[in-house]
Amino acid sequence: MDNDSHSNAMDRWKIIESEKRMTQALDRLRTIRMWSFQDARDFITVGVWQEEKQEAFLTMIDTAEKRSISEIGPPSPYLAIKDIEMRLRLAVATSFHVVDHAGGVTGLGSMVFSPNDGNRTWRIYNPSILTANYQTEGNFGRISGVPGSGKTNTACIIAEVWANEPGHVSIGNIKMTKPDERFIFTKDAKSFLMAIATLPQDTKWLFTLDEAGLIYAKPDQATRRVKDLDKFMRVVRKLKGSINLIEQREDAVPTLIQEFAKNLFYCERKGVVSIEMRGPELAFRDTVKDFPKTSLPFDTYDIAYFPINVDIQKLLGAISGSDEPMRSLAQFLEIQEAPIKEYLEKVCAYPACGKSLVGMHPKARYCSNNVPPYHAQMDYERRKALVQEESKTNYVPEQPKEESLQDFLEL
């Protein structure tokens, strides 16, 4: 082979190899949301050639990791460093140009990105790995992705696998189009707490909070609602449960959940899910295709708003120190429910009316005091006449006590 032929062959090899390495780099960058700090270091080491840029990136990674360890920063480089994906894409593109101009075959060969020639199918895996890290209480997961990418479907598959195991119950605010014994739908905090309070002893539950950003988002962390939810998340283990949280944007996930969640699921599109599980029972990482559709009949168009209609701080105080926390929880909810039930059943005191007083002042006795038909005045006259009639039938007449309308209303 002459020199020209050898040169042409080498050029073709460099073109093919460069395309392959760039494809691998782009595949890795697509999963940057799942990276650990060590993943970021490895990628920068092989993908960023300019020494000053490499040093700057590694310094940012070290600083962000130290903040994460001290619990004052996000737990991943994607969340901790602003625009890290854009910066790395620019740096990698520059590095490929540097290698091309330098003409170094050795340099191109050193750009070893994790090979990803195609996603493995989910069918080769045992579905039980999805719940391996929820077997002990107090574990957390977060599921994210753009709208319509299959987040709720992924959560339902996890709930299915969990509910199929003995002594396990799946709960959540994912509305079903028809009842399904594998999943307990709870539309608000009160119904959720009542559900876990009435579970058989030693039952473990997995709760899925869909559309978490509507009530539990990082931008709202200064509100009492989010602070109370943070307090509740800290005691989930003691209530024998675990939590899965669905939120479209990773950076909107509350800081506490970012720190607690060891099971991460990112839905790239329907059927393609990046999974990273960091223990305590199983360490697993892969991007899979052919992720199945759930058999749970969930309503994909339900808004899934989840009102926090319980005073979390009072609840924690009520069950603290109890020998039977679940029983104490149920008693607390019954006490809280009583005045609400009484209020909802309260009607106008005028016998001929019966109109509900819901929406009026809690101490209101009549639906109309100051506007016609003046039910308070009419009832006062009615009762006064009744007393006078009764006094006439008595053997010893008794004078009715003089009572003003104001005295009557204050009874």
pLDDT of residue 404: 67
Whether residue 31 is predicted with pLDDT greater than 90 in this model: the reply is no
Q: 393 falls in which pLDDT band (50, 70, 90)?
A: low
The mean pLDDT value for 96-111 works out to: 61
Task: Provide the 10 A C-beta neighbour count for residue 86.
Answer: 9
pLDDT of residue 368: 73
pLDDT of residue 307: 92
Residues 90 and 163: their CA atoms lie apart, in Å, by 46
Q: 371 falls in which pLDDT band (50, 70, 90)?
A: low
Look-up of token digits 């960058």: 29
Residues 327 and 319: their CA atoms lie apart, in Å, by 9
Query: Which among 71, 116, 56 is positioned nearest to 285, based on CA atoms?
Result: 116
State which of 36-45, 68-77, 107-116, 391-400 shows the largest mean pLDDT: 36-45
Residues 42 and 113: their CA atoms lie apart, in Å, by 9
pLDDT of residue 180: 92
The mean pLDDT value for 305-312 works out to: 91
Q: Which two tokens stand for residue 405?
A: 């309308």
Whether residue 298 is predicted with pLDDT greater than 80 in this model: the reply is yes
State which of 22-31, 156-165, 317-326 shows the largest mean pLDDT: 156-165
Homologous superfamily (CATH) of 120-325 is P-loop containing nucleotide triphosphate hydrolases (3.40.50.300)
- ω into 280 cis (within 30 of 0): yes
pLDDT of residue 13: 59
* Model pLDDT for residues 114-139, shown as the tens digit of each residue: 654 467 889 899 999 999 999 999 99
pLDDT of residue 402: 61
The mean pLDDT value for 90-119 works out to: 66
Domain parsing of the chain, residue ranges: 3-110, 120-325, 347-411
pLDDT of residue 32: 87
